[in-house]
């Protein structure tokens, strides 16, 4: 799960034209430059330093405008953000990876700069949106990387459409079933990654500010999200807060459905492409990621140490290592 970020500006999504949009620079779409709070060698000091970054959009078959961030040339690499997340948070990863790949980051419906609608709040519809993005981009085959709920979207995509359009897949620290069934043994819960027996209370806590405790859900991601102990993470988080306005009610529409899905059958029977799995010592999801690695014969498991920022946000807190590890997997 991703921790929702507070917004500070008006709905920038209005700047995007409805329907299919031609290529637009990020500066033009956002209508402003942005200076990152920490100067980091090898990364842009301002948004305008990221030449070639675009924010584009297309319209789905059910009439929803989906925005996507785009940069670079070469082999396509598509990122699917987690719950309530968006392309702005990928600014460092996009800059580093766009030097080697044609990178896309989709803003899922009701998230980021994509349109807010009252329908389609299901993981299956999110995976259809991903399929329609690939069709819009005319991607016959691409590498796909899903973080948090984005991994669930990829599992649903594979369940519905197979792997013919996927070269390699990357899953970053997502429980295979957030909902822990009452008849599970403790080992089954650990293997699946179950963290709650009350989806309703979990949704109320995430979207309505209701009290949360360790009996409702895993609190470690919440705690780790607040730690701005990485300048990379501080930069991307502050940029996302500045340019994105999240609507808790809108992002909450998919959350219950996300929580109650169990993807173990997909992992056991439907994934036949090389897979990279990322987790860390600060993540309570690690046992389920080890189960997935054991189950998938064509998989590699990357476990980041505490010193390497090995938590739910490892790819944002340590983007240099993540980029290096990801490239090693994709190019091997």
Q: Please tell me the CATH code under which domain 12-331 is placed.
A: 3.40.50.1820
pLDDT at 21: 44
Residue showing tokens 């209508």: 31
Domain boundaries, the chain: 12-331
pLDDT at 39: 98
- Residue 57 tokens read as 């959009």
pLDDT at 18: 34
pLDDT at 4: 39
pLDDT at 139: 98
pLDDT at 22: 54
Q: Provide the whole-model pTM.
A: 0.92
Distance CA 330, CA 274 (A): 9
Instruction: Write down how long the chain is.
Output: 332
Q: Report residues of the chain scoring pLDDT below 70.
A: 1-22
pLDDT at 23: 73
Residue showing tokens 């999240």: 246
pLDDT in tens, 106-135: 999 999 999 999 999 999 999 999 999 999
């Amino acid at each position: 799960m991703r921790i929702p970020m507070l917004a500070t500006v008006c709905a920038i999504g209005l700047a995007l034209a409805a329907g299919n949009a031609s290529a637009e620079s990020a500066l033009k779409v956002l209508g402003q430059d942005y200076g990152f709070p920490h100067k980091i060698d090898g990364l842009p000091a301002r948004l305008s330093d990221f030449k070639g970054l675009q924010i584009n959009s297309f319209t789905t078959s059910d009439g929803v405008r989906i925005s996507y961030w785009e940069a670079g040339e070469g082999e396509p690499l598509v990122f699917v953000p987690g719950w309530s997340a968006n392309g702005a948070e990928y600014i460092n990863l996009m800059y580093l990876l766009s030097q080697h790949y044609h990178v896309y980051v989709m803003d899922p419906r009701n998230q980021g700069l994509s349109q807010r609608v009252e329908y389609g709040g299901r993981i299956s519809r999110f995976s259809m949106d991903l399929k329609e993005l690939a069709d819009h981009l005319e991607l016959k085959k691409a590498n796909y990387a899903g973080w948090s709920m984005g991994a669930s979207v990829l599992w649903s995509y594979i369940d519905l459409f197979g792997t013919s359009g996927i070269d390699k897949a990357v899953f970053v620290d997502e429980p295979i079933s957030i909902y822990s069934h009452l008849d599970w043994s403790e080992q089954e819960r650990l293997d699946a990654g179950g963290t709650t027996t009350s989806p309703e209370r979990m949704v109320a806590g995430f979207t309505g500010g209701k009290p949360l405790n360790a009996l409702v859900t895993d609190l470690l991601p919440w705690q780790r999200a607040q730690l701005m102990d990485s300048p990379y993470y501080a930069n991307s988080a502050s940029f996302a807060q500045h340019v994105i306005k999240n609507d808790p009610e809108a992002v909450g529409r998919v959350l219950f459905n996300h929580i109650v899905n169990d993807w173990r059958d997909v992992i056991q029977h439907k994934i036949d492409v090389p897979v990279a799995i990322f987790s860390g010592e600060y993540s309570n999801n690690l046992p389920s990621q080890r189960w997935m690695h054991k189950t998938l014969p064509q998989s590699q498991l990357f476990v980041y140490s505490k010193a390497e920022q090995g938590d739910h946000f490892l790819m944002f807190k340590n983007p240099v290592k993540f980029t290096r590890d990801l490239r090693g997997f994709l190019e091997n």
